[in-house]
Structure 1
């Protein structure tokens, strides 16, 4: 069964927090942050925004591009590690707003790999003939949980969301065939159990083992890229763009160098919006769709705390 992404859309809050804000908060200045992370500003959700509202905003924009009525959607999969509500999830709120009565709804969490894991869940539902039109939405409200005073990671986080529509129909203004999806759990390696955490009321979100994350992210993001391209007999040099997890500009530069890939074709938005978590790779792609042409091969590659990794290979129609 062939699967296609029919449309992409993203939402980013208007507010930007500059590096200068953190000088008095955690002692880090602009040059230090930019040199080590590539971040200059980060997006921040407004007072009345949360993970669910941002997810809904992305789907509202997606609805304007859908080649089918949104009421026909029969599967909604949300992805997040920073939920607003663990019962009335983003998936359920989307179903309610758009009156998608026939939709199965669920939310998945695999840290920053969650978006790609959600895509793989859709692949499984389609293979079982339990769905035909799906929406995947990823949304993170990192600043709700972040501890800004933490000098290790308080300055990293941004907020945002992304949504895609998936069906068996090669329709849509910027449709793309999903050639392969790869995910892998990595809880057994390195400092997976302590490197990144999110514990509400017990320290919020933090990344105390940044070096371990850096080393493993560089290795396993490349492993994911190799997995999806090798499965199709494609070389990494055949890719037009790579949209990776936006955790650190140096990680992206290291991956590009190690696979001899042009760094300017590594799609990036971390400079403006920071680390927006699991939606980040797809937000970067959604922002750069005007650079993608017919026939282009584009890969998404991610590494998440816990640990986990994943990749997707797309060919645009």
Structure 2
């Protein structure tokens, strides 16, 4: 389906035509997690977690389930939603910080599981901003004529990198995958995207381990300075939201739904307040999913579509912030 550059229509856009998601069946409530932590001598409670984060439960994948297993099921649901089959796909981008292996990419593993051959497939690593980054890259490739039907997937098994001796981080994250089908269209879909990063803040959220000579060097478990992340996240999410609105020639009141990265209800509420959006126009899944990193936005989008919240013709703001420090936003007409 690759389009040659000299045959690109004068007005070529990218639209989301299908959404899908996959959550592991194992639901872990705050009460269950608190009991597990108590066995380690760590004190926490459902009330403590809910008050600070808005999280009530999360999903944890079984030991034999990888990011590609979740991602391929989310992709299949998205393809079905779009009325497409795997052979229609000519680009696969997977946003993940928890790949199946060092290499090859999780995208090529999903490509194999879907039975697709020949099209570009690669992973994109921008942590919790990964899906926004991936959507922006796919949009650019479709607009240029390099692709016509893309799968953009966020897939994570963050439970593998959590330190269950640190109650401030292990209660926050969960596993899951979300996906969209993005297709070339003569009608505008994605209106504007903006991406940013600042490596000066890399230390406030990181997993500082690596593999060398068959050994793990450094610490392979997630580390976070919660207060620093909170302050920076609220600031940059407001700034990038206004930046993408200006680029699209839209106003905050034009947003029907804000679908932010599902990290912490306080960050999400803070962003909405700065944009003067009522809480009723914010899609919230963090209560049941926890923070699923690059999977959180497509998971929330698919939930909102299938529950009837998000309707065709509405304007959506997707935005994420994550380790790196990375952040970005996408404004689109759904």
TM-score normalised to structure 1 length: 0.92
Q: 4+ residue stretches of structure 1 with deviation over 3 A? A: 199-205
Residue 204, structure 1, aligned to residue 220, structure 2: yes
Segments of 5+ residues of structure 1 without an aligned counterpart are none
Match of 1:193 among 202, 206, 212: 202
Any conservation in 1 of the 2:15–2:183 contact (CA below 8 Å)? yes
Secondary structure of the 2:168 match is coil
More helix by share: 2
1:178 alignment partner in structure 2: 190
1:158 alignment partner in structure 2: 174
Match of 1:75 among 91, 101, 109: 91
Greater Rg by CA: 2
**CA distance, structure 2, for counterparts of residue 15 and residue 165 of structure 1:** 27
Segments of 5+ residues of structure 2 without an aligned counterpart are 1-11, 210-215
Computed over aligned residues only, the root mean square deviation of the Cα atoms, in angstroms, reads 1.8
**CA distance, structure 2, for counterparts of residue 60 and residue 68 of structure 1:** 9
Match of 1:14 among 25, 28, 50: 25
**CA distance, structure 2, for counterparts of residue 86 and residue 226 of structure 1:** 37
TM-fit CA distance, 1:223: 1.4
Residue 145, structure 1, aligned to residue 161, structure 2: yes
**CA distance, structure 1, for counterparts of residue 314 and residue 141 of structure 2:** 27
Deviations 1:93-126 (A, max 9, x none): 2221222223111101011111111112212323
Any conservation in 1 of the 2:19–2:79 contact (CA below 8 Å)? no
Match of 2:315 among 267, 278, 297: 297
Deviations 1:157-210 (A, max 9, x none): 100001111111379xxxx8111111111223xxx1211112445433434311
Any conservation in 2 of the 1:72–1:102 contact (CA below 8 Å)? no
Match of 1:231 among 234, 243, 247: 247
Secondary structure of the 1:271 match is helix
**CA distance, structure 2, for counterparts of residue 151 and residue 203 of structure 1:** 17
TM-fit CA distance, 1:46: 1.9
Deviations 1:267-298 (A, max 9, x none): 11111111110111221111011112342111
Any conservation in 2 of the 1:77–1:135 contact (CA below 8 Å)? yes
Any conservation in 2 of the 1:170–1:177 contact (CA below 8 Å)? no
**CA distance, structure 2, for counterparts of residue 305 and residue 265 of structure 1:** 26
Q: Name the CA shift for 1:83/1:215 in 2 (closer, same or farther; >3 Å).
A: same
Residue 124, structure 1, aligned to residue 135, structure 2: no
